[in-house]
Structure 1
């Protein structure tokens, strides 16, 4: 896992909002898989993604519609091996929020080991609408 301190934050443009990368985790998506097919693997991953999205309402999964379509179409090609999860924050807050805090967005995607996750994150988030996807998190007292 890659964790960075405040002095080394990376900035990203998410639509019209400036956001900072707080954490980036790269994991082996097939860890623990002993046997199976690409189709079965996609179905299990989609079930896991659905659970994660229910528990984390500010989670954006890149190409989720494509993953769902591939699972229905029984695509027999393996997903890229690496699963990447990034957490971004911004000082932007919705107008109707009076408290102190920040907005948070988590992004997840699959990629090949040869891809740079920082550069790929920039291409994923640039067209997103932060104001529609991010969630406000108040600061604890």
Structure 2
């Protein structure tokens, strides 16, 4: 379910938590590729995802296990071209945190260009456990 908040941000239900969409970017996942094969593209995509996961502890990659399983299975089939990344925040804070701040979750997935990324985000995040995936970030003074 997508709702508009009073401040005009889109609000999403993530498990039992309401979260606000702070940013959503769509980019061409094959940008910069001069030549290659679907298999090579799959390998490079997984290498890039692993680097992003190491650098961003609050990143959730939708269907990551399926992407890993497909790396060698479908070597002649191109993956969806568009990479979408969303950043969600919530005022929910973990138990025992006394600082002022918010919890943050970034979500990344791949889709065809014709799909609506806002609607797809709603279906991806609805079953997720915000309390297990999001990271607390204190406000800067």
Which residue of 2 is the match for residue 24 of structure 1?
24
**1:74 CA drift (Å):** 4.5
Which residue of 2 is the match for residue 3 of structure 1?
none
Question: For 2:76 and 2:64, how far apart are their aligned partners in 1?
Answer: 17
Question: For 2:78 and 2:92, how far apart are their aligned partners in 1?
Answer: 38
Q: Deviations over 1:62-100 (max 9, x none)?
A: 000000001132432111111000000000000121100
Residue 94 (str. 1) matches residue 94 (str. 2): yes
Question: For 2:140 and 2:63, how far apart are their aligned partners in 1?
Answer: 34
Question: For 1:74 and 1:119, how far apart are their aligned partners in 2?
Answer: 27
Residue 37 (str. 1) matches residue 37 (str. 2): yes
Question: For 2:77 and 2:42, how far apart are their aligned partners in 1?
Answer: 10
Question: For 1:19 and 1:76, how far apart are their aligned partners in 2?
Answer: 38
Unaligned runs of 5+ in 2: 1-5
Counterpart of 1:132 in 2: which secondary structure?
Answer: helix
**1:8 CA drift (Å):** 2.2
Size of the alignment, in residue pairs? Answer: 136
Question: For 1:77 and 1:58, how far apart are their aligned partners in 2?
Answer: 30
Residue 121 (str. 1) matches residue 121 (str. 2): yes
Unaligned runs of 5+ in 1: 1-5
Question: For 2:19 and 2:136, how far apart are their aligned partners in 1?
Answer: 13
Task: Calculate the TM-score normalised by the size of structure 1.
Answer: 0.93
Q: Deviations over 1:24-81 (max 9, x none)?
A: 0000000011111111101101001000000000000000000000113243211111
Alpha-carbon RMSD across the aligned residues, in angstroms, is 1.1
Which residue of 2 is the match for residue 13 of structure 1?
13
Task: Calculate the TM-score normalised by the size of structure 2.
Answer: 0.93
